[in-house]
Amino acid sequence: MPATMTSKQRVLTAFSRAEPDRVPIDYSANPGIDRRLKQHFGLAQGDNEGLRDALGVDFRTVAARYRGPKLHADIPERGVRVDNLGIHRRKVEHGSGCYWDYCDFPLRDATEEQVAEWPMPSADDYDYSEVAAACKRHSPYAVQAGNSGLGCVINTNGFLRGMEQTFIDLITDDPAGLLLARRRAELQLEMTRRTLEAAKGGIDYLKMGEDLGTQLAPSISPDLYRQHIRPLHQRLVDLAKSFDLPVMIHCCGSSSWAFDDFIEIGIDAVDTLQPEAANMAPAYLKEKFGGRLAFHGCISTAGPLSFGTAEDVVRDCTETLEIMMPGGGYCFSPTHQIQDNTPTENVLAMYETAHDVGRYV
């Protein structure tokens, strides 16, 4: 093992469940804390790359840009933004910032015929011509295609059908809900294929997602996962493997019940890993799945990072690193976007600890 690896080497070594020179480091944050971090480092507000360099982040993402028409009109009189899947969002202010919450759920009562006619983008509406150049620009880093919404059925169907109806769809085999999932899956599969082809070997791994747990328990049964969701996941994994790429899946809540299924379909790494959820403690995951899966996450955005002191953060991050590092296969990351109520000094302590404690050599 070289004394110092590139970010790309570091991440791919961890994904292969081996020890790199140090744990790979990732970053994700809401706009408020992102803005404060850039101010701390004296960076311009648009300098996303500069902030990642300052924090020592090993990951980068590339994606094709949407160039097609706007398919669904916004509703300005209600302050509602509508994206090209027809998902409605409204701005919700809170004490430390704001977020865009999902609302209206326009396909909640839709029939199969209405879902079939619902306007959605085509893979032709995306511009893949800049993908290769973006990969080359980020070539020292681990370059990701995809995101947490790729392959996701429950969350994204829920944005259009509502969560209650989405679970009913899965339990009752409702043809409207299942068609919505299939339409989205076909679009994503073709977009991903074209992105990987356009990258000309510049992509290092694929990221996909599916939230399968509450804080206390699974959100659906293993049988429902295997019937309706696993086959769609398998197609994405098979596509990635045809390009010799590892796959990481984002999965919130108490989701370790599905990890053996993930291993069976060829997934290499699991993201999020909320330590406060049932059967998601770092020690439990390391003992049960270490050597079979790589891990990305574990640093809770709802724990000491948001509500403790900098000393609490150092202690929490150190304990997590000491559990997850032995034997390799761990990437240091917040479980979700770091929230705007998080003290700036806590975030700085988090990343300083990753660099100080997370070294193998």
Q: What is the CATH number of domain 7-69+109-357?
A: 3.20.20.210
pLDDT at 22 over 60: yes
CA distance 231 to 237: 10
- pLDDT tens digits along 157-193: 999 999 999 999 999 999 999 999 999 999 999 999 9
pLDDT at 2: 53
pLDDT at 361: 79
CA distance 304 to 311: 9
For the entire predicted model, the pTM comes to 0.97
Inter-CA distances, 7 with 20, 55, 196, 250, 336, Å:
10, 13, 20, 21, 21
DSSP symbol at 220: S
Q: How confident is the model at residue 262 (pLDDT cuts 50, 70, 90)?
A: very high
- pLDDT tens digits along 120-143: 999 999 999 999 999 999 999 999
pLDDT at 292: 98
> What ranges do the domains of the chain cover?
7-69+109-357
Q: Encoding tokens for residue 201?
A: 């070997």
Torsion from C-alpha of 63, 255, 9, 245, nearest 10 degrees:
-60
pLDDT at 81 over 80: yes
- Return the ∠ at Cα 351 (arms to 347 and 357), rounded to 5°: 135
pLDDT at 94: 85
Of residues 293 and 97, the one with the higher pLDDT is: 293
pLDDT at 1 over 70: no
Q: How confident is the model at residue 307 (pLDDT cuts 50, 70, 90)?
A: very high
Amino acid identity of residue 183, one-letter, is R
pLDDT at 98: 84
15 contacts 82 by C-beta, under 8 angstroms: no
**Closest-CA residue to 312 (of 322, 303, 321):** 303
